[in-house]
Structure 1
Amino acid sequence: MPRSSVPPLASHAPPLGALLRQYAAGSALTCDPVDQGLLNRGYRLATTRGHYFLKHHFDPETADPAAIARQHRATQRLADLGVPVAPPLPGRDGRTVAVVGGHAYALHPWIDGRHRHGGQLSTGQCGRLGALLGVVHASLERVMPTRGRVSGDRGEGGREDAGQDRAAPQDLTTGKERAAGREGAAARELPAGAGRGEDTGRGRAAGQGDPGGGARQTEAGRGETGRGGEPRDPGGADHLRDATRRSGTTGRGRAAAPAGASAKPLAPTAPPRPADTHHRPPHPYTPAGQPQSRPTGSNGLADPPHTPSADPADTFALIDDLLAHVRRHRPTDAFDELARHRLLERRALLEQHADRRPPPGGSVGWVHGDFHPFNLLYKGDSPAAIVDWDRLGVQPRAEEAVRAAAIFFVRPAGTLDLPKVRAYACAYRRTAGATPSELGAAVHRVWWERLNDFWMLRWHYERGDTRADSQFPAASALAVWWTREYDAVCEAFVD
């Protein structure tokens, strides 16, 4: 279960009066919190005009209004290509981000839909899922800037900054509302920073009145029904349908195994040490010890971020810290016992495989950044909308494909459904134009990432946040199983 699927710590009433004045969405009737992610808040809003999903961009790392507006424009461009997304609704002033009381909000039509884990998908549907992610990566390459800026950078210039929102959205709070809002701001803050590797989301449904004309995308959560708005062409454009129909139906040529599939790759000479990450858990889908990548130089996509992989020396120190936390916890419970077992087990595995640390690398490109079951809504058997684009950025694309598969296709016992992984990966390679060797190298890097990853334990022991505890048994078992079945996992992605 991904991180974004855990229940919220506390609810927060959005400033509906100030917000709805910015939209032709009618008057509020009800506003109910949606089971939400750890990083943002969502509400099902019923008005006299219809049903909407109201998203509060709460995570400090992704709450910059200008960055949110650029992400919104990216989803609109993807929708124009027929990718199943649901872009946000513009307000009366044409902007898609409303800032009230220093907080950023966006309004989306509600999308009826449900989230589906890999266990609920047929092998053919797994192929269509891989094809969909490949289409997303290929389409982002078409609509995002190839030079200069990444989503989230401030300033103008490049295709991403064209159009509306040249000025930062204004804070729409009145003086009276602003004073009242400051009173409880501190109490509303969730702890900043999240772990990485297993995140989830939420859902929505179609409203009647479209306050700005156009459909919309939004953040995923858990539950059976979705959110957002009726996306354009829920099944995708013709090229998307063609690609997904082809997935898994053609013969596979056997690809060369990646370095490390049968033999351990040599560790790089004197690899650079990542910044210390022991004091604040990283974000769910950011590899351990790695900041979000940004392009550099004249051509961002031509200059990889060269972020180092996790240093086992740092991981050994973290394991010692976490073991100390476990020893101090009283009374000892079943979670403590499992945590201690997994920490000792992981330390032994790292000692055995420390020479397999991968070098920085991977072909980078624009990625969704948080692709997992709770950020994808299905209507029937077809994907209806990919939601929650907060982590849109430049990263190794194949790693996103591998990371997503490790979430979609993990079983409760901590194993991967390799036949489904094979169908998914084959279709992804075809639609994304990725090579088997590229996927094989990504498998190695994500395996190493998982071997060094303890975000769930850090949340539990360092922050006293137990919302992700239910994910720990399967996620911690997966790292062990993956190490044992390394060759079989590689073959599933490259064959």
Structure 2
Amino acid sequence: MSGVLRAYRTAPPETVAPVAEGLLNRGYRISATDGATYFLKCYVDRATANRTTVLRQHRATAALAALGLPVPPPLPSADNRTVTAYGGRLFALYPWVPGSHRHGTELDPARCGELGGLLGALHGALRDICAPLRQPEAVLSAEVEETERIVLELRGLARTHRPYGPFDRLAEDRLTERLDLLATHRRRRPGPTDAPPTGWTHGDFHGLNVLYRGDTVSAVLDWDKLAPHPVAEEAVRAATLLFNDRATGVLDLVRVRHWARAYRATGAASAEQVAAAVHRVWWERLNDLWMLQWRYQRRDHRADPLFPAAAGQLTWWCQDYEQVMDAFAN
């Protein structure tokens, strides 16, 4: 790391410690000899680890920080660049932001509303500072037939996995259940013009990308997936990750309601647009199998701990669809 840090106006590193969280890129906590602390990011994700994409993220985060939003901007190097190439990788250096992660169910309802309002403010600011977007003529949703094919393949891989353990049994049972859910709901696929408006989004807004100091958000982190998407869908998707029971996946709909009302109050989306987003995210989850694809097709087990609650949430959501819709849109 010393070779990378020589590009910056910092004291030499005293300690370098990997940061455990994160599935895409690598991060390190750097303690310098002068007592300063930094976060060094190494971009390794193939989809985002290119200079054009990283610089777009850096411009956006610097502009958001200039607006007073809790977004840490990258630090410039000695030659005033925010991206440093070293050893075939791209790096960026950030100030270390003190704080801790809090799951959404740890927040009281008022704080849930403040967090929803913050996401709405970020979406509004991104609309103003990022490149203008032309609305797509259509936004396609997943096809049941393709999902069923993947389910059958994954179920076969789970059944024959060795050693066959409790996780494989759970996966096999949930995949069988998924076929039943797909059969029940296959005619509810969103149409290509049903999506809410597209805009710039954070792309990965959840509890591990938000830092708190006390009851106040100190930083929104990890803008690696900054990209155009249906904006209201991020508000729905984030709420399903923030306000769920971490064992069962069931959503705390009281907290969801406070979040959604505050988000809508910023003007980032109307109730009708949020309702459309709820249906599309529900359909996305009904057809989403990435956690098991990582395990059985990529032999990557990092997402395994996420699967039980995610599968439980989908089953519950299918049963309580109207209550979930009401919490988000009314």
TM-score bucket of the superposed structures, by smaller chain: over 0.9
Amino acid paired to 1:403: R
Instruction: Tell me the distance in 2 between the aligned counterparts of 1:94 and 1:103.
Output: 19
Please state which structure has a larger fraction of its residues in strand. Answer: 2
Amino acid paired to 1:340: E
2:118 aligned with 1:132? yes
Match of 1:279 in 2: none
2:194 aligned with 1:365? no
Match of 1:318 in 2: 150
Match of 2:166 in 1: 334
Question: Shift of residue 321 of structure 1?
Answer: 0.2
Question: Shift of residue 28 of structure 1?
Answer: 1.4
Match of 1:475 in 2: 310
Tell me the alpha carbon deviations over residues 362-401 of structure 1, each in whole angstroms, 9 at most, x when there is no partner.
2011111111101111111000111111111111000000
Instruction: Tell me the distance in 1 between the aligned counterparts of 2:29 and 2:329.
Output: 42
Please, which runs of 5 or more residues in structure 2 have no aligned partner?
Answer: none
Match of 2:270 in 1: 435
Tell me the alpha carbon deviations over residues 307-359 of structure 1, each in whole angstroms, 9 at most, x when there is no partner.
31010000000011011101211332111111111001110010011000002
Amino acid paired to 2:10: A
3-state secondary structure, aligned to 1:52: strand
| CA gap 1:392/1:23 in 2 versus in 1, 3 angstroms | same
Amino acid paired to 1:76: A
2:322 aligned with 1:492? no
Q: Percent identity?
A: 49
Question: Shift of residue 305 of structure 1?
Answer: 6.4
For residue 107 of structure 1, the aligned residue among 93, 102, 115 is 93
Match of 1:32 in 2: 17
3-state secondary structure, aligned to 1:432: coil
Rg comparison, structure with higher value: 1
Residues 102-181 of structure 1 mapped to structure 2, 5 A cutoff:
102-146=88-132
2:279 aligned with 1:444? yes
- Contact 1:25–1:48 under 8 Å retained in 2: no
Structure of greater relative contact order (alpha carbons < 8 Å, 6+ residues apart): 1
Instruction: Tell me the distance in 2 between the aligned counterparts of 1:439 and 1:351.
Output: 26
- Contact 2:8–2:77 under 8 Å retained in 1: yes
Residues 368-447 of structure 1 mapped to structure 2, 5 A cutoff:
368-411=202-245, 412-447=247-282
C-alpha RMSD of matched pairs (Å) = 1.1
Instruction: Tell me the distance in 1 between the aligned counterparts of 2:14 and 2:210.
Output: 28
Match of 1:45 in 2: 30
Please state which structure has a larger fraction of its residues in helix. Answer: 2
Instruction: Tell me the distance in 2 between the aligned counterparts of 1:477 and 1:122.
Output: 24
Paired residues, number:
326
2:2 aligned with 1:17? yes
Query: Would you identify which runs of 4 or more consecutive aligned residues in structure 1 move more than 2 Å?
Result: none
- Contact 1:137–1:432 under 8 Å retained in 2: no
Give the TM-score of the pair, scaled to structure 1: 0.65
Match of 1:457 in 2: 292
- Contact 2:200–2:229 under 8 Å retained in 1: yes
3-state secondary structure, aligned to 1:74: helix
Instruction: Tell me the distance in 1 between the aligned counterparts of 2:249 and 2:18.
Output: 31
Residues 286-325 of structure 1 mapped to structure 2, 5 A cutoff:
301-304=133-136, 306-325=138-157
